Structure 1
Amino acid sequence: MNHAPTSGDIVGVFKSIIALTVAILLAFFPFPAAAVEKAVGSVLDTRVSFEVSEADVGGVLKTLAEAFDLNIVVGEGITGEVTLSLTDVRLEDALDLILETTGYYYTFKNNIILVQSPEKELATEIVVLGYAKASDVEASVKALLSEQGSIEAVDEQRLVIKELPKRMKTVLNEIEKLDHAPHQIMIEARIVEVEDTDLTAFGIQWSGNMNLAGYPRSSGKPALGSGRVIDTPGFDTSSAGTLIPSTTSATVTGNSADYRLALSETSADLTGGQFVYGLTYGRVNLSNIIDALVRTNRAHILASPTIAALDGEEARIIIGEKFPFRENTLTAVGTTETTKFVDIGTALRVVPRVINNKDIMIEIHPEVSSLNESLSAGPRINTREATTKLIVRNGQTVVIAGLIQHEKTVIRQKVPFFGNLPVIGLAFRNRSTDFVTKELVVFVTPYLMEPLVGEEGKPVLDLFSGQRFYNRAVRLTEEFGIESLGKTEAQRFSEAIAHFKTVIRNFADSEVADDALYQLGMIYDEKMDRPALAADVWNELVTKYPDSPYTDKKLYSRLKKAQKKAETQAKERRQRFQ
C-alpha cells in the first residue's frame, strides 16, 4: 500500500545525505594512512576543514573515526544535532567544538577516545571561602556555569560546585577573585549638645587647626609664612539647598593654620525639624569651641564613640536604656499581652561604602531621644534625628548641626514655712520661667583602614592611628580639648611627647611623621629646656625627611642654636662637678 512520505522520512533522508556529503568532503582532504602503531595524539594535530548542518552528532563522530582511523567510543545517550563550518583547524579543536556545542565531553586513554554524557562525569569541588559570603558568590558565579553545572551555598562560608572538568578551573578562578578581604572603615563620632540660654544666637562658631605640611606653597596664593593670611576652604554647608557663608581665611604660623568656621545663626527657616551639614578638608584636625564650652558646663558630650565597620555593613551604637511597654494583640481565642522594648537615649547609625578604593560614601543617622510620658497606648518619646548620605574623602569630617530643641522650665523657690502662709507668703516665694535652647551637633569622621600586617615583636596598627596619636599630642601641647582637662603643664607635655614618639616609631611613612619630629623638637627646646634632645630629634628629621617642608633655613638655624646651647649646658655641668 503506497503512502505519501512523512516529514520524518524527509528529515531522515536529509540527514543521510548530509552524512554522505561529510564523508565525501573528508575524502578530498589528505589524512595520514591508518597505522596501528601511530599515536592518536599526532593524528589529532592534523589540520582539517569541513562543514556540516544539522547533522547527527553520533554520525559525525563515526565519520571522523573512519576517516582518521580513530578509536572513538560513543557512550549511551549521546544524541543531538550539530552545525559547524570549520576551515584549517586542528582535528582535536574540531572534536572539542563538536562536543561543547552539544554539551558532551571526551576522555583520552590508551589510544581510545571515550565520548560521555556530563551527567555521569561531573567534577565536584567544595570551596571554603575566607571573606565573601557564600550566597553572594553563588549569585555571581551562576552565570558562568554550563547547563549541566550547579553551585550551592551550604552555609555562609562553603560552596559545593558541580561542573564539567574542563570548566571547573575557570569557575574556581572566578571565585578566587571574588573572595577578597573587604575594606574596613573606622568611624570616629562626637555627639554634642550645646545649651544657649541667652536666646540671641543658636549657631556655633567652629575653630580648628589645619596641618599644611606637604601642601603647595604657591600657585597664585600668597606664600605661607609667619602671620600671613591665606585663603582656605571652609564648610561647604547647605540648608534646604542654599549655601551658608563660612569664614575662608586663616592665620598661618609655620606649617599650621588657625582658622574659624561659622555655621549660620538660627533663623525662622531653621526649626527643630531641619538640619545643616558641612564638610572639612582631609587635613583639617577639627578641634572646636565645644571643648571650651564643655569646660564651662555650657555643652555636654552625649557620646564620643569609635567603631569599625565592614564595607557596606551597618554600624550602630546606642547609649541609653530600653524602655518596656505592653502591647495587647486581639486573637480569635482572646487577647494576648506581650512586653516590648523601645530604645531611648543617644544612637548613631552609619553605613559606609568605599568608592574607587579611596573615597567613602557614608549614610549617617544620629538620634537623641528622651521619654516624654508613658501612656496606655505606649510611651511618648521626644526625639531629634536626621538622615543624610554623602561622599567624603578618607579622614574628612562630616558635621551635622541645627537639630534644635526648645525647653521651658518653671522654677519655684520659697522660704520654708513662711512661703506657705497666705497673702504674706508671696513675699517669701518666687516663681521664674527659664527658656533653654539645646542644639545637637554631630561630628563623624570615617577613616579607611589599611590591611593590618603584623611582624613578630611589633604591634599591629593601622595607618589612621598615626593621625589620631598626632592629633592628641597637638591638643595636649596647645592645652586644648578634653585631653588637657585637670592636667598640669608637665603632665600635658609628657603625654604629648609619648604620642609624638609613637607616631615617629610606628608610623614613619605617614604624612605627619615629619611634623611630629619637628613638634617634638620644639617641646624639648622651648618647653623643657633640653636642647641636646631637640638637636637629636631635628637631626633625625633632616636625615629621614630631607624633602620635608620643615627642613628649611629656619630649622638649620634652630638646630645650630640648640647644639650650641647644649654644649654650653654640658660645659656648665662639668664646671659644677669640678
Structure 2
Amino acid sequence: MMKKLTYLVARVAFLSVVLAAPAWGIAAELPASANRLQAVDVTALPGGRLNVQLQLSQPLTTAPLSFTLSNPPRIVFDLPNTMNATGKNVLPVSQGVLKSVQVAQASDRSRVVLNLSKPVQHQLQVQDQVLLVALAQEGADVPVAAAATAAKRFAEPEAAAAHKIQKIDFVRGKNGEGRILVDLSDSRVGVNVRNAGKTVVVDFADTELPEEFQRRLNVVNFNTPVLYVDALRHHHQAQIVIEPQGDWEQSAYQTDRRLVVDIRPLVKDPNKLIQGSKQGYAGEKLSLNFQRVDVRDVLKVIADFTGKNIVVSDSVSGTVTIGLKDVPWDQALDVIMKSKGLDMRVNGSVISIAPAEEFAAKEKAQLTAEAERETLETLRTEVFSLKYQKAMDFRNMLLGGGTSTAGGATSGTSMGGSTGSAAGRMNRILSPRGSVTFDARTNTIFVQDTPKKLEEIQAIINKVDVPVKQVMIESRMVIASNTFSKALGARFGISQTGTPGSNSNLSIGGTLGNKATAFTAPTTAGGTGTFTLGNQGGTIQSATLNNYTISSNGQPDLMSNLPVTNAYGGIALSLLKLSANLLLNLELSALEADSRGKVISSPRVTTANQQKARIAQGVEIPYQSATSSGATAVSFKKAELSLEVTPQITPDQRIIMDLDVRKDSRGETLPGGVAINTQNVQTQVLVGNGETVVLGGIYEQVSRKGTDKVPFFGDLPVVGYAFKRNTKQEDKTELLIFITPKVMDETIALN
C-alpha cells in the first residue's frame, strides 16, 4: 500500500511538470527612458479562448512585428526598445493551447515567445499600455489563408500599402547549410514559416511577388541539403517553397527588412537522444521532485513525457531521490542513469537502458561470436577497378603499409596470414584470411575476403577513389625602384694646334680630347704624319704636326682629366692662346638622371593537394672557370624567377602553403665568375580560399657621394671645380610578394 501511494505521489508530481525554453540572448543595457515589460497575465475566456495581456510602462504606437512557427508551434513577436522587468524568463501557463510564455531580452529589444500545443489563430491588439494577444479556441488548426489574414492584421496598419519582395537569393554557408535570403520592402511583412510534408513553406501575407522572381532556383550544385527553391504567387500572398533532401533541420529569423531561412544538414548520432546541431542537452525542459521512488517508475514518467519508447532491462532496480527544476529531459535522464550506474543504447526511436556492465558483456560476447563466424565464413573474390588511386598504393593501404614509391611493378600478390610486419598486421584492413592482387596496366585490384570485408573495401573505395582537389597559386612580385644620380666633372690642359698657319683656334661643342686613332708619327722634324679624329668621320693626311702633343695611345695630354662617365652634355672651350701653337683648353661635362620604374612578375602554377609544384623562368649565364687540370671550362649559373609551393587544403576550405619564392638577377662580373643578385622568401602561411596574403617586403636604400680631385688645385675656391669631379647617387628598391591561392572546384552557378 505504501509503494502504491508513493507511485501515486510521483504521478501527481509529473502532472506539475513545467516546460521552459532556452534563453534567446544576452541582455544589454538600455537607457532609463526605455519601455519596460512589467507583467504577463493570461485570462481564460468562454469557448476555450485565451487572452494574453502584456503590461508595459509606456504605450505602444503600433503592433509589434510577429511571425509564427508550426514545428514546434509558436507565436513570436519582438518589442523594440523594451526591457524585461518581469524578473522571469519563463512563465508556466498550461491553460488550453498555451503551454508557457518565454520572455528574453537581447540587444535593444525583448522577444516574447508563446509556446503552444498546436497551431491556432491569433490576433494582436494595442490598448494604450497593454498589448493584447487573443488566441482562438483549442483545437482550431490554422489554415494558410487564415494565418495570412491574421498576419496582415497584426503585422501592419490597415491603411498601409501592399508589401513587396525585392530580392530572392541563395548562398551556401560555411558549415554546408543552404541559406535563403529574402529582401522585403519593409520590416512589417507578416511571415509564416511552416513544414508541409517534406518541404518548408514560407508565406508572406499581402505581399507582391514581381514576375522576375516567380521562378524555380536549381541549387543542386551548391552541395547543401536544398535541391530547389520555388517562388510563386498563392492567392493574394507570396509564397516560397523550399525542397530539401536527406536529413535536415531548419531555422528562420528576420533582421530589419531581410528574412533568412537556414536549412542545415543533420548528422545523426545513434547515441544522441535529441538530433540536431545544438551542443549539449537540447530536450524540452521539465521539473521532477521525487522521494525514494523506484527508478523504473521515474524512467516511465520520462517516457510518458517525451513519447519515447524506453526499454528497461530486468536487472535495473533500486530507488532514487531526485529534485530537478527546469532542466532538459535528456539531461535529467543522464543524471538518473549516472547515479545508478546505468547506460543506454539508441536504436531508431527505441532507447534501451541497462547497467553498463551488462552492455559491455553483451558487446564482448557479440564481438567474440563475430570473430568465430569470420574464421568459418566462405571467402569471395571481387574485382575493383580504380579510377584515380594507383592500384599498388591501394594494395599497400589494404595491407596496412604506407604508400609505395617503387616503380616498374605491373602486378603483385599479397596473401593473408603472417605476411608483413607486426605493425602492418595490426593496421591492415583485410581480414587475416584475406589476400589482394593488383594489375597496374588496368589499374585493377583483386581481393579475396569475407563478404563483410568486401563491403567495407567498397565503402573505402567510394571515399578515397575520388579526384584530388587542385589548387592554383598565383604569385605577384612587385619591384619598385627610384634612382637619382648627379655628377659634374672637368678636363683641363694645354695642347698644340694641329693646323699650320693658324694664329687662333676656338672650338665649342665638346671636341677636346677626341681620341686620335690610326696615328703615324713623323720620322723627321717638320715631316708629315697621319691620324684620324673619331668625331670627324674621315682622315687628315699629310698634316704638318708641328710638335702636336699626343700621347702614345692617341689621347691628348691633359693637366686635369676628371670627366663624367657617359655624360649627357658637355662644353669645350679654348680659353687662352699662349703662343702661335699653344692653347689653354677646358671641357666641362655634367650628368643628372632621375628614373622610376616598377617591374611586376606574376608566376602562377596549378598542383594537386599536398603535391609540390615548381615553376621557373630565367637564363643560364656562362662564365669561364679553371678545372683541376688547369684547363679552362665553361660553367653556367642560373638567374631565374621561381615559385615552389606545396599546398594543403583544410576541411574548412582554407589552404596551408609551404612557399619558396625566388627572384634572381645577374650581378657584376668578377674574376672568379658572375655574381647573382638574389631575393628569396621561404615561409609557411594559412590563407583562405581566394584571399591574398603579403609574404613580406625587402626594402633597400643606397646613397653614394664622392669627390675626385687634383691635390691643391681642387681645393681652390671657384677655380677648383675645374680640377675635381663630384658624384651623387641615391637608389631605392622595394620588393613586395603577394600570394593568392584558389581551390579549383567545379563551377558553381545559380540557374
Query: TM-score category by the smaller chain?
Result: 0.3 to 0.5
Q: Which structure has greater strand proportion? A: 2
Q: Give me the TM-score of the superposition, normalised by structure 1.
A: 0.34
Q: Which has the higher contact order (CA 8 A, sep 6+)?
A: 1
Q: Which one has the largest radius of gyration?
A: 2
Q: Which structure has greater helix proportion? A: 1
Q: Give me the TM-score of the superposition, normalised by structure 2.
A: 0.27
